Amino acid sequence: MDATAGVFKRTRQDAAGDYSTLEENMIAELYREWPNDAGFEGLTEHQGPINLTVKGVIPPWAAGTLFRTGPGVSSVPDTPRGEHLVSHWFDGFAHSHKFDLVFDSGDAKSCSVVYSSCRQSQEFIDHVKAKGWRTGICFGQRADPCVGIFSKMSIVFRPLASTSNNNNVMPMVGAAGFPAGDKKDKNLLVLTDSATVQTLNPDTLQPIGFVRQAALHSSLKGQLSCAHAQRDPETGDWFNFNLEFARIPTYRVFKVDGRTGKTEILATIADKEVDPAYIHSLFLTENYVVLCIPSAKYAWAGMSILWRFSLLEAIKPFDTKAPCRWIVIDRRHGKGVVDRFNTPAGFFFHSTNSFEETVEVDGQKRVRLNLEHAAFKNLDVMQIFYYDNLLNRNGAASKLLTETETYQNSVPHLMRYTHTLPASGSPASSWGAAKEATLAFKVTTPHAGDLPVINPAYATKKHRYVWGVSTRGLSLFFDSIVKTDTETGDALIWSGGKGHTPSEMVFVARPGATDEDDGVVLSIVLDGNKGHSYVLCLDAKTLEELGRAEANFAIAFGLHGVHVPSKV
């Protein structure tokens, strides 16, 4: 498949050939012809409001606010040590964006779109400008050799000042337990991989403050957490874990009541066979929280972070013999850990969805878990996101991808594992007794992608469709949008043409819809040829373009977003 614009129908039978074409495109280094630089460099804050130019139709029922967040600027000039350069994209200084989709009654057939943005980490930037280096733990930033181990230890083991936080991953609107500021439960919350949440004013995007998980419950005193907290779609209860480093590290899986804000520890896991690991998301079913500990284990029980000062560099070399550990925690009846199992070594950033089914085994009804995520063979994908590689500075990407064939390990595959819980509901006595889950299906790139989303009405329920951003080997980032049918293995692939790079989509359902895919998906796309971005609105069923709202400037590539519908 080439860079031709359009929507392409692909079947399960096309999958092997399309993947081979992806490999051929990477080997041929066609990504050299795909401009992405404007999404990473020279980014400007637009506090707005700015009216974007709408072409086509953005349906009135999609009216609301689309919030997005992610890395913004990647350098700080004029510090005492010269220009400070951020080395890894995940460490780019936080920048949030707001797109108001407004529908005015009358003759209008489409929403208008008003844009604004705000840097969330200006205090952090000012701190770096004054000091010349970054304090606090980074994701992949190389440690400053002038900062000694004792300084690092003092930073890690005291509550981090706001100048050390850079939350740039996941926005979440309103949550009990975080009542800071005038808007209280309507605040915009921004999460990252630390145990600190930043609150923003949803109208202005101005920072309000930081709240550590220890404010929710005194036991949540660990340093790391999960950027993708899970939320019960019916009760508003939300779930996460807190990881505390020690000789035997401790995971605490917890629930925050969606009505009262009361926090409950569902399980405390301190087991010498459960390593501390980098975990970006977790799984939620109707009755269980499922924690997957991938093969991204920290060395020295996590103490390597003190030396490396970087989460990424503190991770052990990938070991194909180190399986992913899965832990199932009851979230309804206080039973704690009810089961554990393994899957082969691998890595993932994002879970898609998970749900339960009732099956019969030996005449007994049992619960079967379905756990779906966008998975990678190993940890190579995290190397792709160094700016040198994303921008192919001095041929860095060519060396990494082509000479080492890292591209083979850096494309995601949509995978669903199934696991049947024991009849007794009691956990396996040891990991040696833990069973391995069954791989139900695997859909290869480009017929599946990363940053996967579903119709949110199907969260914790059986779903069929997944929308993601994918690559055909034409870009060092993403080059297409894909809709994957998990029942047939077929896919629809949208391409905007050469240089049109999409970001994660957000699904907005049509009011009263009965079909799972009846709605639209919204994405922010960079036209790298012009250096301009636009809000893209696609029919979620067909991936045909309905409309777009164009800016005359580039908008930073974001990580994640959330749509808040207008109240009628």
- What's the confidence (pLDDT) of residue 74? 86
Q: Is 350 annotated as a binding residue?
A: yes
Using only C-alpha atoms, the chain has a radius of gyration, in whole angstroms, of 23
One digit per residue, the tens of pLDDT, for the chain of length 568 reads 777 989 999 999 999 999 999 999 999 999 999 999 999 987 888 987 999 999 999 999 999 999 999 999 888 888 888 888 889 999 999 999 999 999 987 667 899 999 999 998 888 888 888 887 777 778 888 655 554 444 444 444 443 444 457 887 777 776 666 655 455 557 888 888 989 888 888 999 998 888 889 999 999 999 999 999 999 999 999 999 999 998 899 999 999 998 888 999 999 999 888 999 999 999 999 999 999 999 999 998 888 887 778 899 999 999 999 999 999 999 999 999 999 999 999 999 999 999 999 999 888 899 999 999 999 999 999 999 999 999 999 999 998 987 777 888 999 999 999 999 998 755 666 666 778 999 999 999 999 999 999 999 999 999 999 999 999 999 999 999 999 999 999 999 999 999 999 999 999 999 999 999 999 999 999 999 999 999 999 999 999 999 999 999 999 998 999 999 986 4
Contact in structure between 444 and 407 (CB atoms under 8 Å)? no
- What's the confidence (pLDDT) of residue 363? 86
Answer whether residue 359 is part of any domain.
yes
- What's the confidence (pLDDT) of residue 160? 41
Q: Is 373 annotated as a binding residue?
A: no
Is the alpha carbon torsion for 277, 278, 283, 287 positive or negative?
positive
Alpha carbon dihedral 166, 170, 176, 178, in 10-degree steps, equals 10
How is 83-124 classified by DSSP, letter by letter? EEE--BGGGSPEEEEEEEEE--SSS--S-EEEEEEEES-HHH
Which residue range forms the structural domain that includes residue 86? 6-565
Q: Is 280 annotated as a binding residue?
A: yes
Q: How far is the C-alpha of 402 from the C-alpha of 25, rounded, in Å?
A: 11
Q: How far is the C-alpha of 521 from the C-alpha of 453, rounded, in Å?
A: 9
Answer whether residue 483 is part of any domain.
yes
Contact in structure between 254 and 217 (CB atoms under 8 Å)? yes
Answer whether residue 551 is part of any domain.
yes
Q: What is the DSSP letter of 299?
A: G
Q: How far is the C-alpha of 482 from the C-alpha of 485, rounded, in Å?
A: 10
Contact in structure between 505 and 21 (CB atoms under 8 Å)? no
Alpha carbon dihedral 378, 379, 383, 385, in 10-degree steps, equals 100
- What's the confidence (pLDDT) of residue 164? 54
Answer whether residue 1 is part of any domain.
no
Answer whether residue 355 is part of any domain.
yes
Q: What is the DSSP letter of 61?
A: G
Contact in structure between 284 and 232 (CB atoms under 8 Å)? yes
Helix (H, G, I), strand (E, B) or coil at 252: strand
Answer whether residue 461 is part of any domain.
yes
Instruction: Identify residue 295 by its one-letter amino acid code.
Output: S
For the chain, report the end-to-end CA distance as a whole number of angstroms.
44
Answer whether residue 354 is part of any domain.
yes
Q: Is 413 annotated as a binding residue?
A: no
* Number of domains comprising the chain: 1
